[in-house]
Amino acid sequence: MPLDIQPLNPGFVGPGFVGPGFVGPGFVGEVSGIDLTQPLTAGQVAAIEAGMDRHAVLVFHDQHFDDETQLAFSRNFGELEISSGGEMSRPEDRRLKIEMADISNLDQFGRLRAPDDARRLIALGNQLWHSDASFRAVPAKYSMLSARVIPERGGNTEFADMRAAYDALDAATKAEIEPLVTEHSNAYSRELLGVRPEDYGAENRDKLRPVRQRLVRIHPVTGRKSLYLSAHIGTIVGWPMPEARAFIRDLAEHATQPQFVHAHVWRPWDLVIWDNRTTMHRARRYNDRGEVRDLHRTTIRGDGPTAEQVPIAA
């Protein structure tokens, strides 16, 4: 059976689109006709990449990955990123390999994490709208999330289309944001949850140094512009911080209105791939003290920085 992609949601019709009645392809596509645990042909890899460019999020069901097959599949799409949770944890505290982001509520012994476990508190950051690894100078391209165990209730993942959100801005706002550069750090998103820098340990300080990103990105293949927003943003270069935060919050509220959002309801063995360059996402709440939710994420590194970085003082 050949690979088939069906849009799961209608495209947004907005002021950025030409002509009445125009409906875009929808930004979430449901894919069938492929077993991703088997080696892929170059044609299949190209078809998935084309689907990612056309949509931005792809959903595949019944993909029975283990970590090795997920890693092998992911390497078709570029260089893997080491997960920040992995980097900032001690080897003996890790449940998964360092290339696998542990998106679960389990500790290294496979038990539910204790309520005050630092990893549990950091994982709560995923409930804020974000783009993965936007706090790195070279941020993430694709994230690939494989569902192994799903709770009975809650724990959906929501996605927001930052191309449609950009298109729907008025011309004056588009012109205003075009040259802007933002500063991103994991410390800013954690601060929103009340986690303080001194809570991470001195060895992780350099990983929290803010990096610069363009606020408006251009997709390298489609040429479409998108808003590059994330909970990791702490300020806009050259702006007073409170003014920057108020404006970024306003843009994020705009960009996450229902017409730009799709909620994915997980089934075990779903694989969802999203393009971090053109979308934001967030986890929704579930009973993480009583139910297991276990997903494994691989992440593909982006092609390069989106803005010039500030040289690090010696």
Residues contributing to the site for ligand OGA (CB under 6 A): 103, 126, 132, 143, 145, 157, 281, 283, 295, 297
How many Å is the Cα radius of gyration of the chain?
A: 19
Cβ nearer to ligand OGA, comparing 167 with 294: 294
Cβ nearer to ligand OGA, comparing 55 with 281: 281
Task: Choose the one of ligand OGA, Mn ion, none that binds residue 157, judging by a C-beta under 5 to 8 angstroms depending on kind.
Answer: ligand OGA
Q: Smallest distance, Å, CB 152 to ligand OGA?
A: 16
Q: Smallest distance, Å, CB 303 to ligand OGA?
A: 19
With contacts defined by CB under 5 A, how many residues of the chain interact with Mn ion? 1
Task: Choose the one of ligand OGA, Mn ion, none that binds residue 294, judging by a C-beta under 5 to 8 angstroms depending on kind.
Answer: none
Q: Which of 99, 132, 275, 294 binds Mn ion (CB under 5 A)?
A: 132
How far is residue 190's CA from residue 178's CA, in Å, rounded to a whole number? 27
Question: CB under 5 A: which stretch of 64-72, 112-120, 127-135, 148-156 binds Mn ion?
Answer: 127-135
How far is residue 9's CA from residue 28's CA, in Å, rounded to a whole number? 6
Q: Is residue 167 close enough to count as binding Mn ion by CB under 5 A? A: no
Q: Smallest distance, Å, CB 83 to ligand OGA?
A: 9
Cβ nearer to Mn ion, comparing 63 with 83: 83
Q: How many residues does the chain have?
A: 314
How far is residue 294's CA from residue 69's CA, in Å, rounded to a whole number? 17
Q: Smallest distance, Å, CB 156 to Mn ion?
A: 14
- Shortest CA distance to 180 belongs to which of 307, 302, 16? 307
Structure tokens at 294: 């276990």
Structure tokens at 295: 């997903």
DSSP code per residue over 237-306: TTS-HHHHHHHHHHHHHHHTSGGGEEEE---TT-EEEEETTTEEEEEPPB-TTTS--EEEEEEEE-SS-S
Task: Choose the one of Mn ion, ligand OGA, none that binds residue 89, judging by a C-beta under 5 to 8 angstroms depending on kind.
Answer: none
Cβ nearer to ligand OGA, comparing 70 with 143: 143
Q: Smallest distance, Å, CB 14 to Mn ion?
A: 26
How far is residue 155's CA from residue 140's CA, in Å, rounded to a whole number? 23
* E strand residue ranges, 40-114: 57-60, 101-104
Question: CB under 5 A: which stretch of 7-15, 64-72, 126-134, 234-242 binds Mn ion?
Answer: 126-134
Structure tokens at 261: 């959002």
Question: Site residues (CB under 5 A) for Mn ion?
Answer: 132
